[in-house]
Structure 1
Amino acid sequence: MQLVVARIGRAHGIKGEVTVEVRTDEPELRLGPGAVLATEPAAAGPLTIETGRVHSGRLLLRFAGVRDRTGAEALRNILLIAEIDPEELPEDPEEFYDHQLMDLDVVLADGTEIGRITEISHLPSQDLFIVERPDGSEVMIPFVEEIVTEIDLEEQRAVIDPPPGLIDDRAEIAAGEGPADDVPADDVPADDVPAGEGPARDGRAEDGVR
């Protein structure tokens, strides 16, 4: 199974380093020196990580064969993709990979159907479940313990306890205009991969999603 583990950002310095938007909770495993990663678009890769370091809170990588700023700039916005065993699971039973959560049914504690998870959006502040409702509309559910009370992979469902207003029309509008505003404009390129296309992402927020 292929999972997106990072997106390449801007060039850093003049020696070929790039900033990286990490989309995995295991950067030391997925993005360590020597790792060979596929790319989206595929023609840009594969890329072999030569060095990695943290600078001012951001991961910087240098790839084999990239030695100057021009080469680094040419990689901007490329997605880095790791091949993993689909049977691989996080060590912590309270953590989940994105592919485990996709298509889970979302229900209330009393069994009332809310919809189905069609996407997981990784924002700087938190993760969101994008849930398609039976009528085709979408609602955003923050993936935090206070709201998502249970993930049952055997039953293929996520149980939620939403606060008043979260899953009505007003909440959908608020959710669309809230956390997304916190995303730096530079980190959301117009030509990024559309939701639902390309490989799944491998990421996790503090509340348990990988």
Structure 2
Amino acid sequence: MENYLRVGIITATHGIKGEVKVYPTTDDVGRFKQLKQVFLSMGKEYMELEIEGVKFFKQWAILKFKGIDNINDIEKYKGHDLWVSRENAVELAEDEYFICDIIGSLVVTEEGEELGTLTDVMATGANDVYVVTRKDGGEILLPSIKECIKEVDAENKRILVHLMPGLL
């Protein structure tokens, strides 16, 4: 399991006083209000940033970090990811998982047939769709509904599915 979870991407500066516009990669943009710190991805290392202020504009979060008071000090971080430690992650309900914890899972049917590996999760309006890549390179799209996804074992990277008619 990953120690850090991505919550946003710095897309642009906002004004001249060191604020940044952040595209949220979390389901709840309002969670930035509760965060005290984030970690800025610096390649293989992370730089800890203390959040001094948060406001919102449309779907964006506008963040101000303590000690960064000038556009020139923050501009170089455009395009960088913002992360939180797993301890500061949102609480998950039963049967909810962080996508990063299930990507790479082996997907197996109730009959024991190995379908392939979960390589992506697409968010749609009604429900998520699991993208399973087969050994031959083909893909299977499985709706993330109880009738299809029977069991998710994030710890052991294994997903048990029921193939509904027409999915293959």
Determine the C-alpha separation between the residues in 2 that align with 1:31 and 1:138.
42
Report the CA distance shift for 1:78/1:159 in structure 2 as closer, same or farther (over 3 A): same
Q: Cα RMSD (Å) of the superposition? A: 3.5
Query: Contact 2:41/2:82 (CA < 8 Å) preserved in 1?
Result: yes
TM-score scaled by structure 1? Answer: 0.59
- Name the counterpart of 2:79: 77
Determine the C-alpha separation between the residues in 1 that align with 2:133 and 2:144.
19
Say which one has the larger Rg: 2
1:64 deviates by 1.9
Q: Say how many residue pairs are matched.
A: 162
1:115 deviates by 0.3
Equivalent positions of 1:164-203 (< 5 A) are 164=166
Determine the C-alpha separation between the residues in 2 that align with 1:40 and 1:129.
30
Report the CA distance shift for 1:89/1:57 in structure 2 as closer, same or farther (over 3 A): closer
Determine the C-alpha separation between the residues in 2 that align with 1:89 and 1:44.
20
Query: Contact 1:11/1:73 (CA < 8 Å) preserved in 2?
Result: yes
- Name the counterpart of 1:152: 152
Equivalent positions of 1:34-73 (< 5 A) are 34-41=36-43, 45-73=47-75
Determine the C-alpha separation between the residues in 2 that align with 1:139 and 1:105.
14
Amino acid aligned to 1:78: H
Determine the C-alpha separation between the residues in 2 that align with 1:32 and 1:102.
27
Query: Contact 1:39/1:47 (CA < 8 Å) preserved in 2?
Result: no
User: Are 1:114 and 2:109 an aligned pair?
Assistant: no
Amino acid aligned to 2:141: I
Structure 2's unaligned 5+ residue stretches are none
Higher strand share: 2
1:106 deviates by 1.5
TM-score scaled by structure 2? Answer: 0.71
Q: Could you say what secondary structure the match of 1:45 adopts? A: strand
1:128 deviates by 5.1
Report the CA distance shift for 1:144/1:29 in structure 2 as closer, same or farther (over 3 A): same
Amino acid aligned to 1:149: I
Q: Which moved more, 1:47-56 or 1:144-153?
A: 144-153
Structure 1 residue runs of 4 or more that deviate by more than 6 Å after TM superposition = none
Q: Which moved more, 1:107-116 or 1:155-164?
A: 155-164
Structure 1's unaligned 5+ residue stretches are 168-210
